[in-house]
Amino acid sequence: MGRSPCCSSSSSTGEGLNRGAWTAQEDKILSDYIKNHGEGRWRKLPEEAGLRRCGKSCRLRWLNYLRPDIKRGNISPEEEELIVRLHKLLGNRWSLIAGRLPGRTDNEIKNYWNTILGKKQRQAPVRAATDGKKTQTPLAADSWVASPKDNNAAAQPVVRTKAKALECSSQVFIDNPKRPAGMASLETPPDHQASSITRDRMDPAQGDDDGRLLSMTAATNNGESNDISSADPLFDFQFEDTFLSDLLILPGLSAIPAFSSDIHQPEMGMQM
DNA sequence: AACTTCGTCAACCGCCTATCA
DNA sequence: CTGATAGGCGGTTGACGAAGT
């Protein structure tokens, strides 16, 4: 195999590298360098910054510890619940899970799971089974829709907005650019029409921002109503990582007054 | 007080994938 | 197309402090 390990002693920069815990001085050198030059080029970084560390070690230190937007410790009950739900959907894909928790790192979540949540899950498998249960409430037009998250809504800072009914003559299509490779986008099934969309508003003080979508319900011609956002675990994850700006309305769908300014029309020739 | 065990978490290791020449 | 390289990821380790005996 042609690749030499980044930190191997035989590599050109591998001799005499520092290992183990980082010192405050090393942290400062790394932080200053990245502030001035930006992230990336990790293998060249130690040489250019004057650090006796391998590039991987620098990257890890920055991403897991020094990044300014990082949140440390005190994982809230809401975050814990989200970790549990996402782990059920995704398994040990820590970087994906971390992507859903602003300021948290994959390493932190992995450690948290291995030391706390994994233990809890093993001790309380019955509770875990009920946590993921979703209600399939039929929705009336203009109804206020509760997502599974709302079980403890009182403890959450987000404000749920009232959903406007979609008067559909076509399908709703959600294209989330952040979705993991291999996950399909969520769309209204062919024999359904989207009937209701709910979202949260992240910061009430900011007015109407690009809130996360919470659920989407579709109705068949005979009046049967289904929560299509929770119908499939893969969709469920993608949906939860979806913002209003990801919502596309196919040509022919009538306007939705409450959201009209938030929704963009798809490009011409878009395929289903 | 001394020793042992347990829990936590930063850091390392090795593999995989994307990119580029 | 192929091989080299860099970046990224998940699993694992080990140091260290806290709790227990």
Which nt has its C1' nearest the CA of A109? Answer: B9
The residue among A60 and A189 whose pLDDT is bigger is A60
Q: What is the pLDDT of residue A227?
A: 61
Using the CB atom, is residue A37 less than 7 Å from strand C?
no
| Non-local CB neighbours of A255 within 8 Å, separated by 6+ positions | none
A180 CA to B6 C1' distance (Å)? 37
Residue in the block written with tokens 């897991």: A64
Residue A44 above 80 pLDDT? Answer: yes
Q: How far is CA A214 from CA A20, A144, A146, A237, in A?
A: 43, 11, 8, 11
Query: pLDDT band at A130, cuts 50/70/90?
Result: very low
Residue A53 lies in a domain: yes
The domain boundary residue, chosen from A100, A129, A158: A129
Residue nearest to nucleotide C3 (CA to C1'): A2
- Is there a single domain that holds both residue A255 and residue A166? yes
Q: What is the pLDDT of residue A233?
A: 46
Residue A241 lies in a domain: yes
Domains of chain A: total: 3
- Is there a single domain that holds both residue A34 and residue A124? no
Instruction: Show the domain range for A40.
Output: 24-66
Which nt has its C1' nearest the CA of A43? Answer: C6
- Is there a single domain that holds both residue A118 and residue A190? no
Q: Alpha-carbon Rg of chain A, whole angstroms?
A: 23
Structure tokens at A246: 């990801």
> Which bases of strand C have any atom within 7 Å of the beta carbon of a protein residue?
3-12, 15-16
Residue A115 lies in a domain: yes
- Is there a single domain that holds both residue A201 and residue A120? no
The residue among A21 and A124 whose pLDDT is bigger is A21
Residue A1 lies in a domain: no
Residue A180 lies in a domain: yes
| Predicted confidence (pLDDT) per residue in A209-263, tens digit | 344 555 555 556 566 666 655 554 444 444 445 554 444 433 333 323 223 223 3
| Predicted confidence (pLDDT) per residue in A194-206, tens digit | 555 554 443 333 3
- Is there a single domain that holds both residue A32 and residue A101? no
- Is there a single domain that holds both residue A181 and residue A204? yes
- Is there a single domain that holds both residue A154 and residue A246? yes
Residue A172 lies in a domain: yes
- Is there a single domain that holds both residue A170 and residue A239? yes
Q: What is the pLDDT of residue A222?
A: 63
Instruction: Give the CATH number for residue A115.
Output: 1.10.10.60
Q: Where are the beta strands (DSSP E) in A223-266?
A: 225-227, 247-249
